[in-house]
Amino acid sequence: MSKTYRVAILGATGAVGTELLELLESRNFPISDLKLLASERSVGRSLSFKGENLLVEPISDRALENVDIVLASAGSSTSKKWATIAVEKGAVVIDNSSAFRMNPEVPLVVPEVNPQAAASHKGIIANPNCTTILMTVAVWPLHQVKSVQRIIAATYQSASGAGAKAMAEVKTQASAILQGQEPIAEILPYPLAFNLFPHNTPINDFGYCEEEMKMVNETRKIFGTQQIRITATCVRVPVLRAHSEAINLEFETPFSPETAREILSNSPGVKLVEDWQANHFPMPIEATGKDEVLVGRIRQDISHPCGLELWLCGDQIRKGAALNAVQIAELLVEKNLLKPAVAYVSQ
Ligand code: A2P
């Protein structure tokens, strides 16, 4: 009989948590026992898995016993508090938060890009930021052919990045506006319905917000080079759950759009969506619920001979978060990398 694993989802009631549950079921991950963990607020709730209703438990030391894999998506402070405890109890934690991503002892993994990094884990593997995952899946195959020198990204990020409550808030705001009422913003800082605003993460001394710096620093870590120059402008838009990105790439020598198109049409995790006649390119509504990153509008940058423009959309909750985490878990199982954790990691 093939091996099965004891899995816990920390943050099971959230936007990413419920998607993790769905993916574990639909991808038939080999599970012998599944624990659904969240905060005290969710006590009494149950969620369905393979036709069975499973009760949500509040996170505790005891709840983390007898678990092989923890898929954590309950925010950075919750991960900081519980991930090392889970590792001490023998689990491997795949963490969706930003808590450990830039820790040099923690691999930051996109399975289509740097699966080999997973092998060096000491109990925690970090799932990158959603915009970073989507961008790296599309840019890595090109970078394999000619080194990217510089990336200029502009993002159009959906409400789902701020969680299930933010998604609900946008719907409530939209319906308030349509009824002639003032939209109320409680989860996000400003009304997002019929609006957009620069990403609401803290801004550093150079004027870059945290989300933008995640794209810079995490991409370099995933690609294994500090040499790529990267800049980003991140914006929240009133889309529910798929992010879009306009990416400008600069190479050392020209990179023809035809070659890029051919490479990307054969790259794992990428689907080319380009109908120039119909002006049909990736859109968030078509990326929603899909596993692949949709890429299109590949064209020569007319302002630079070695520049290439592309446009992408990807489901933020799926490949931007839950799917990437489940793919990491599948990689660990397939490559037999769920070794007993060694004592962990400075924070
Ligand atoms: P709960 O529903 O009990 O608050 P989202 O990103 O969609 O907002 O979801 C966040 C997830 O993280 C939810 O499942 C939420 O559980 C969980 N969570 C938030 N704070 C904590 C905490 N302190 N301990 C455990 N789970 C938490």
Q: Find out whether 296 and 281 touch, Cβ atoms under 8 Å.
A: yes
Q: Which of 78, 85, 158 to mutate to test the pocket of ligand 1 (most atoms within 8 A of CB)?
A: 78
Exposure of 47 in the CB half-sphere (CA atoms within 13 A):
23
Q: Are residues 193 and 253 in the same domain?
A: yes
In a domain, 137, yes or no: yes
Q: Is 269 exposed, middle or buried (0-12, 13-18, 19+ CB in 10 A)?
A: buried
Tell me which residue of 16, 49, 23, 22 sits closest to 35, measured CA to CA: 49
Same domain, 137 and 80: no
In this structure, are 247 and 329 located in the same domain? no
Residues with C-beta less than 6 Å from any ligand 1 atom:
11-15, 17, 38-39, 41-42, 59, 74-75, 78, 163-165
- What is the mean pLDDT of the segment spanning 312-320? 98
- Structural domain contains residue 119: no
Range of the domain at 84: 5-99+321-334
Tell me the two tokens of residue 85: 């405890």
Altogether, the residues listed in the chain come to a count of: 347
Instruction: Using pLDDT thresholds of 50, 70 and 90, give the confidence band for residue 108.
Output: very high
Instruction: Check residue 338 and give its pLDDT.
Output: 93
Inside any domain, residue 125:
no
Q: What is the CATH number of the domain that holds 164?
A: 3.30.360.10
Atom of ligand 1 nearest to the CA of 164: 7
Residue 47 in any domain: the answer is yes
Same domain, 150 and 240: yes
Residue type, 99: A
pLDDT category at 2 given cuts 50, 70, 90 is confident
Sign of the Cα pseudo-torsion (190, 133, 17, 125, in order): negative
Residue 68 inside a domain? The answer is yes
Mean pLDDT rounded to a whole number for the chain: 96
In a domain, 115, yes or no: no
Q: Determine what percent of the chain is predicted with pLDDT higher than 90.
A: 97
Same domain, 165 and 57: no
Pairing of strands 124-126, 92-95: parallel
Number of folded domains that form the chain: 2
**60 Cα: distance to centroid of ligand 1 (angstroms):** 13
> Region 1-19: what's the mean pLDDT?
95
Q: How far is the CA of 13 from the centre of ligand 1 (A)?
A: 7
Looking at the fold, whether 157 and 269 belong to one and the same domain comes out as yes
The CATH number linked to 87 is: 3.40.50.720
Q: What's the average model confidence in pLDDT over 42-61? A: 97
Q: What is the mean pLDDT of residues 268-281?
A: 98
Q: Are residues 310 and 326 in the same domain?
A: no
Catalytic residue numbers, as ranges:
130, 243
Which pLDDT value is given to residue 341? 46
Whether residue 143 is found in the same domain as residue 245: yes
For 205-259, what is each residue's pLDDT tens digit?
A: 999 999 999 999 999 999 999 999 999 999 999 999 999 999 999 999 999 999 9
How many beta carbons lie within 10 A of that of residue 120, not counting itself?
11
How many other CB atoms are there within 10 angstroms of residue 190's CB atom?
A: 12
Among positive and negative, which fits the CA dihedral 160, 163, 164, 169? Answer: negative
Task: Tell me how far the alpha carbon of residue 21 lies from the centroid of ligand 1, in angstroms.
Answer: 15
| Residue 58 pLDDT > 80 | yes
Pocket probe for ligand 1: among 39, 46, 77, the residue whose CB has the most ligand atoms within 8 Å is: 39
Question: What is the predicted pLDDT for the residue at 343?
Answer: 52
Do 165 and 94 share a structural domain?
no
Instruction: Give the pLDDT of residue 99.
Output: 98
Summarised one tens digit per residue, pLDDT across range 189-220 is: 999 999 999 999 999 999 999 999 999 999 99
Return the structure tokens found at 186.
């409680």
Structure tokens at 3: 């091996």
- Domain annotation covers residue 43: yes
Task: Give yes or no: residues 86 and 170 share one domain.
Answer: no
- Distance between CA 241 and CA 236 in Å, rounded? 11
Q: Does residue 76 lie in a domain region?
A: yes
From the CA of 56, give the closest atom in ligand 1.
3
Per-residue tokens: 271: 């689907």
Type of residue numbered 343? A
pLDDT per residue over 338-347, tens digit each? Answer: 974 455 555 5
Q: Is 347 exposed, middle or buried (0-12, 13-18, 19+ CB in 10 A)?
A: exposed
Of the candidates 149, 331, 95, the residue with the CA atom closest to the CA atom of residue 108: 95
Q: How far is the CA of 75 from the centre of ligand 1 (A)?
A: 7
Question: Does one domain contain both 150 and 94?
Answer: no
Chain centroid, CA 253 distance in Å: 31
Residues in Cβ contact with 312 at an 8 Å cutoff, skipping those fewer than 6 apart = 134, 135, 138, 244, 245, 247, 282, 293, 294, 295, 296
Do residues 81 and 216 both lie within one domain?
no
pLDDT tens digits along 138-192: 999 999 999 999 999 999 999 999 999 999 999 999 999 999 999 999 999 999 9
